[in-house]
Amino acid sequence: MSTVRVAACQMTPQIGEVDRNLDAIDGWVGRAAEAGAALAVLPEAAVTGYAFASIDEALPVARRATGVAGDRLAGMASRHQIALIAGSLEAESDDVYNAALVVTPDGQRFRYRKMHLPFLGVDRFATPGGEAPAVYDVAGLRIGVLICYDLRFPEAARICALEGADLIALPTNWPVSVEFHPGLFAPARAAENHCYLLAADRVGTEGGTTFIGRSLLVDYDGQVLASAGADEELLVGDVDPEAARETHVRRRPGEHEWDTMADRRPGLYERLLQPATDRLHPPSATIYSGDAD
C-alpha cells in the first residue's frame, strides 16, 4: 500500500461562534485537500470553542452545533473529497459532551465522545463519554480517535492499537504549561503502540487560557515527522499504514526483536481495571471510577 497524506489544521476557533467557525473550518479543509491530504484533523472544540465559564453558557452553543455541524462537515468532506475529524460540543438533553465528529467523502459519519475530562474549560461541566474509543476505516487508514486529555491515559491509546489502528487522531486544546504533551506523551503513545499519531491543536487565547499550538505527526517509532509552531498553520505529512501494521520489529533478526502487541501479558493486568489509591488522600475515585463494574 502506498503512503497516505494527512493534515492537521492548527486554527483559532472563536468561542460560541458555531457558524463562523464552520466557515473557517471549510477554508482549512479546502487547503488540506489542495495539499493532497486524504484526511484533515481539526482541533478539539473547533466548531464551538472550549473555555466556557458555565454549563448554561455552553449548552445553547452545543445545541446549535448538534443541529448543524454534522451536515456542514459532511458537505465539506463531499465537496473537497477529503475525510475530516473535527472537535465539537454536543448536547443531549441537558448534558454537554466534548466530541470528535468523523465524516468521509462518501457520506459515512462516526463520533467519539471524550471519556477523560480534566478540570478545565467546558470539561468542568461536561459529561464524559460512556463508550471506549473505536477504530474507523477512513481514507485508506484504520484510525482511532482520542481527544486531548485522553492522551495522558495509556489505556485509551492501547485500546486503539488493539483494535488495529494505523493512526491515532487527536483533536486537542493544549494550554500553556502542558508542553510535555507534544514533547513526551505523543511520541510515547505512538511508539508503545506501534502506530502513527496526528495531533491537531489550536492557537490563540480564550477565556484567559492560552493554547500552545505545536500540532505534530509522530511515527510508530516515536519520531516526529512534522511539527507546527505557535501560530495558525497547516501541517502536512505522509503515513505508511503497512509499516504501522508490522508490529513485529526485527532490529537484528534472531537477536533483537519485539512486538508490543504480541508480547503483552493481559492475564496479569487485572489491577488496571480497579480504581486508583490516592497517594495522599485515599481512596481516589470519581463517580465514574466504577465503570468497569
Candidates 9, 17, 34, 44; catalytic one: 44
Say if 268 falls within a structural domain. no
Q: Grid coordinates 505534530 are at which residue? A: 216
> What's the structural domain count of the chain?
1
Catalytic residue of the set 34, 57, 90, 148: 148
d(CA 159, CA 132): 8
Residue 253, in any domain of the structure: no
Q: Report CA Rg, the chain.
A: 19
Q: Write the CB contacts of 149 (distance below 8 Å, at least 6 apart in sequence).
A: 114, 116, 117, 118, 123
Residue 117: CA atoms inside 13 Å, Cβ hemisphere, count?
A: 23
Residue 258 lies in a domain: no
Q: Which three cell numbers stand for residue 278?
A: 490516592
Indicate which residue of 9, 90, 114, 160 is catalytic. 114
Question: Quick one: angle between helices 18-34 and 55-80, nearest 10?
Answer: 30
Is residue 287 in a domain? Answer: no
Q: What's the average pLDDT block by block, 10 residues per block, for the chain (293 residues)?
A: 93 98 98 98 98 97 98 98 98 97 97 97 97 96 98 97 98 97 98 98 96 98 97 98 95 94 94 81 64 57
pLDDT at 281 (0 to 100): 67
CA 151 to CA 168: how far, in whole Å? 10
Query: How far apart, in whole angstroms, are the C-alpha atoms of residue 278 and residue 188?
Result: 24
pLDDT tens for each residue of 218-238: 999 999 999 999 999 999 999
> Catalytic site residue 57?
no
pLDDT digits (tens, 9 = 90+) for 136-165: 999 999 999 999 999 999 999 999 999 999
User: In this structure, is residue 256 part of a structural domain?
Assistant: no
Per the annotation, the verdict on 148 as an active-site residue is yes
Is 257 part of any domain? no
Catalytic: 44?
yes
* CATH code for the domain in which residue 47 is found: 3.60.110.10
Could you tell me the residue range of the domain that residue 144 belongs to? 4-248
Predicted local distance difference test score (pLDDT) of residue 285: 62
Write down the pTM of the prediction: 0.95
The answer to whether residue 281 is domain-embedded is no
**pLDDT given at position 185:** 98
Residue 289 confidence (pLDDT): 65
Classify residue 275: in a domain, yes or no: no
> Helices 154-162 and 186-193 meet at what angle, rounded to 10?
40
Per-residue pLDDT at 144: 98
End-to-end Cα separation, the chain, in angstroms? 42
